[in-house]
């Protein structure tokens, strides 16, 4: 179904030319301070990584003292990059590229090597490797970020990935705002009204209890948009969501939950769970990052996110942009194939 997606070729030539220029600048700058260096680099979509080694009597502290001069050679302020120590005579510098392009869904899927239906490609890490959400290991996913930073787009990415696999997965979308996911209503179950959402969550819990008895294991993926708004409707639904997060995956029921509220007491319990993966887009304060990820994020995320899988490793990730016309074409294709 890749032919149904938009083609937006990525050209990295400008970033490669910039890297060549900056390497020459670095060599001249470090030579002036008596460093005998070898500099290599790798240019990725969004970052360039420079490795600098030297074979003289200079040490790591000597090169750190030149951070301002290194920054000038790279066209950066010294606050815009870190010097990472690799060994006594080797450092690594990572810088954001001047030209950054939006990742498309087609570009991401063309990089996918993993064919298992358990694996959903979320995006690319900084070194252009595909980052997957694995239903068999990661179980559930919690997403946060201020309005407009990418939560709905991430939901679209996951939904489109599942639909394009054409397996038996049932998709249920609970959207209290009633505006974001109606395009899927002919191929997914989309629920908008408040009472219907509460009833549907209870029905999903009842479905879990039935599965325990009859051992039905067809996958159900439940997307809950802005869980904070749903919990405010009824505190009972909070218990149902908590129950499904704890045991639902044992019967192949998985929850993908979003919220733009991190510090509210009604949903804080979600962030303390060990059996849930997390993806965080831009938040306004360090305390919010610390509360959600149990870690400090000291990066300018832009439209990127920070992903924490079940192994608790934090990974910066670029999520593909999913466009409305792509959704329409994929949905229409699935409908026509059912007729």
Q: Which residue has the higher pLDDT, 289 or 255?
A: 255
- Mean pLDDT for 168-192 is 94
Give Cβ neighbours of residue 71 (< 8 Å, ≥ 6 apart).
Answer: 77, 78, 80, 81
Domains of the chain (ranges; CATH) run 13-96 (3.30.980.40), 105-338 (3.40.50.300)
pLDDT at residue 296 tops 80: no
Looking from the CA of 79 toward its CB, the CA atoms found within 13 Å total: 2
pLDDT > 90 in the chain, percent: 66
- Mean pLDDT for 60-89 is 94
The alpha-helical segments, DSSP class H, found in 33-119 are: 60-64, 67-74, 105-110
What pLDDT is attached to residue 29?
96
Looking from the CA of 287 toward its CB, the CA atoms found within 13 Å total: 3
Confidence band (pLDDT; 50, 70, 90) for 312? low
Tell me the pLDDT of the chain averaged across its residues.
90
Least confident stretch, 106-110, 154-158, 306-310, 316-320: 306-310
CA distance 282 to 280: 7
Least confident stretch, 95-104, 267-276, 299-308: 267-276
CA distance 314 to 306: 6
pLDDT at residue 268 tops 90: no
- Mean pLDDT for 187-210 is 94
pLDDT at residue 311 tops 70: no
Residue 287 corresponds to which tokens in the numbers above? Answer: 């305390």
Burial of 165 (0-12, 13-18, 19+ CB in 10 A): middle
What pLDDT is attached to residue 233?
77
- Mean pLDDT for 160-188 is 94
pLDDT at residue 75 tops 70: yes
- Mind listing the pLDDT tens digit for each residue in 104-159? 999 999 999 877 889 999 999 999 999 999 999 989 999 999 888 899 999 999 99
DSSP state of 301: -
- Mind listing the pLDDT tens digit for each residue in 224-249? 998 888 888 777 888 899 999 999 99
Q: Which residue has the higher pLDDT, 187 or 287?
A: 187
What pLDDT is attached to residue 97?
92
- Mind listing the pLDDT tens digit for each residue in 6-21? 988 888 999 999 999 9
- Mean pLDDT for 43-63 is 94
The alpha-helical segments, DSSP class H, found in the chain are: 13-32, 60-64, 67-74, 105-110, 151-165, 194-214, 227-233, 235-247, 268-271, 286-293, 324-338
* Residues 184 and 190 sit within 8 Å (Cβ to Cβ): yes
Q: Which residue has the higher pLDDT, 91 or 301?
A: 91
Confidence band (pLDDT; 50, 70, 90) for 292? confident
Q: Which residue has the higher pLDDT, 252 or 295?
A: 252
- Mean pLDDT for 189-209 is 94
- Mind listing the pLDDT tens digit for each residue in 55-71? 888 999 999 999 999 99
What pLDDT is attached to residue 220?
97
């Amino acid at each position: 179904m890749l032919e149904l997606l938009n083609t937006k070729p990525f050209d990295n030539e400008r970033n490669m030319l910039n890297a060549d220029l900056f390497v020459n600048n670095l060599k001249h700058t470090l030579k002036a301070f008596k460093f005998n260096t070898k500099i290599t680099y790798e240019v990725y979509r969004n970052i360039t990584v420079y490795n600098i080694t030297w074979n003289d009597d200079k040490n790591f502290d000597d090169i750190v003292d030149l951070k301002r001069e290194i920054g000038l050679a790279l066209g950066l302020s010294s606050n815009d990059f870190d010097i990472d120590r690799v060994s006594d005579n080797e450092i690594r510098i990572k810088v954001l590229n001047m030209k950054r392009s939006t990742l498309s869904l087609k570009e991401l899927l063309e990089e996918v090597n993993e064919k298992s239906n358990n694996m959903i490609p979320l995006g690319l890490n900084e070194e252009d490797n595909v980052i997957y959400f694995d239903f068999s290991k990661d179980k559930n996913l919690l997403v946060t970020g201020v309005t407009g930073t990418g939560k709905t787009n991430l939901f679209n990415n996951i939904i489109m990935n599942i639909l394009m696999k054409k397996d038996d997965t049932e998709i249920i979308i609970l959207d209290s705002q009633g505006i974001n996911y109606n395009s899927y209503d002919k191929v997914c179950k989309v629920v908008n009204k408040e009472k219907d959402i509460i009833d549907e969550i209870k029905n999903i819990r009842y479905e879990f209890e039935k599965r325990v008895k009859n051992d039905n294991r067809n996958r159900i993926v439940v997307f809950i948009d802005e869980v904070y708004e749903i919990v405010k409707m009824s505190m009972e639904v909070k218990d149902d969501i908590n129950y499904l997060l704890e045991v639902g995956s044992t019967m192949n029921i998985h929850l993908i939950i979003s919220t733009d509220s991190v510090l509210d007491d009604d949903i804080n319990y979600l962030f303390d769970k060990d059996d849930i993966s997390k993806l965080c887009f831009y938040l306004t304060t360090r305390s919010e990052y610390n509360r959600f990820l149990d870690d400090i994020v000291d990066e300018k995320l832009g439209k990127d996110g920070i992903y924490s899988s079940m192994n608790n490793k934090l990974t910066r990730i670029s999520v593909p942009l999913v466009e409305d016309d792509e959704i329409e074409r994929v949905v229409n294709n699935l409908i026509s194939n059912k007729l």
